[in-house]
Amino acid sequence: MIDGMRQVVDQMGRTVAVPDIPKKIISLVPSQTELLYDLDLAEHIVGQTVFCIYPQEHFKSVTKVGGTKKLNIQAIRDLQPDLIIGNKEENELSQIQELEKEFPVWMSDIYNLPDALEMIRQIGIVVSKQDKAEALVQKIEAGFNKIKSIQTKSLKVLYFIWRKPYMVAGRNTFINDMLKYCGLENAITERNSRYPEIDAENISSLKPDVIFLSSEPYPFKEKHIEEITHLCPSAKIRIVDGEMFTWYGSRLVNSPDYFHNMINSLL
């Protein structure tokens, strides 16, 4: 083992040599960037993507390294990080492979709440903030335990993430796991397709009780409710905060209360 370095295994099962105490961190995922700030690492974050907008007070001052899918590799090289933190789904494999030839790259791989909590714990270890990470995990667990008793009479829901073409969240997604905690059943039954395209005929045939139009990645607005109502006039349609369903870092602290209020509006 190189002096000042240690071996860790990330959520993709990769062994990564990381510094004992990272000093120059680049984060490639918005929800994990926010987590790093909440672990009191602001002085060590030297780069983040253009989508890493929280906390807003740090957004303008930190160097941007492109988007999650289109990283600026040269900008990353110029910053000479001693740790890069990314995610299997949100970042492109080819770019991660290029970066890991030169820098320690730790990757998360998240499909459900337990994965997210494990990610927080593991990042806490990697950045030497174990106690803060564990306290955050316990707070998130307490919040989700409170909403386990939500009863929605097995309402079927379609969760829209895109328009033209319409795309919805499938079963093997973090969104699907969040829907379960809301006491809702995903109207998409196929387990192999994560974000299937769906046409107007299929939307109507699924007969969802509830339709969620997410604020991200497509920015659904109130004006789109009428459009969807024509397809499913009997469904209850809501614009929902996509960050609460997809940001798997410290923002999960806020999700249970949001889910509770949202479900109450449906009952």
Q: What is the CATH number of the domain that holds 259?
A: 3.40.50.1980
Instruction: Give residue 59's domain range.
Output: 5-144
Give the predicted TM-score (pTM) of the model. 0.94
Average pLDDT over residues 236-253: 97
Using only C-alpha atoms, the chain has a radius of gyration, in whole angstroms, of 20
Tens digits of per-residue pLDDT, 135-172? 999 999 999 998 876 666 679 999 999 999 999 999 99
Q: Do residue 166 and residue 250 come from a single domain?
A: yes
Boundary of a domain, candidates 122, 144, 166 = 144
Q: Do residue 210 and residue 121 come from a single domain?
A: no
Q: Do residue 131 and residue 182 come from a single domain?
A: no
Q: Do residue 128 and residue 170 come from a single domain?
A: no
Answer whether residue 1 shows pLDDT above 50. no
Tens digits of per-residue pLDDT, 90-112? 999 999 999 999 999 999 999 99
In whole angstroms, what is the distance from residue 254 CA to residue 252 CA? 5
Q: How confident is the model at residue 12 (pLDDT cuts 50, 70, 90)?
A: very high
Tens digits of per-residue pLDDT, 200-230? 899 999 999 999 999 999 999 999 999 999 9
Boundary of a domain, candidates 110, 144, 178 = 144
Q: Do residue 134 and residue 183 come from a single domain?
A: no
Residue 131 lies in a domain: yes
Q: Angle at Cα 175 formed by Cα 171 and Cα 181, nearest 5°?
A: 95
Residue 149 lies in a domain: no
142 phi, psi to nearest 5 deg? -60, -40
Note the pLDDT of residue 265: 87
The closest of 221, 183, 228 to 203, measured between CA atoms, is 228
Overall number of domains in the chain:
2
Q: % helix / strand / coil in the chain, to the nearest 5?
A: 40, 20, 40
Residue 220 lies in a domain: yes
Answer whether residue 79 shows pLDDT above 60. yes
Residue 117 lies in a domain: yes
Average pLDDT over residues 2-25: 92
Q: Do residue 129 and residue 174 come from a single domain?
A: no
Q: Do residue 29 and residue 122 come from a single domain?
A: yes
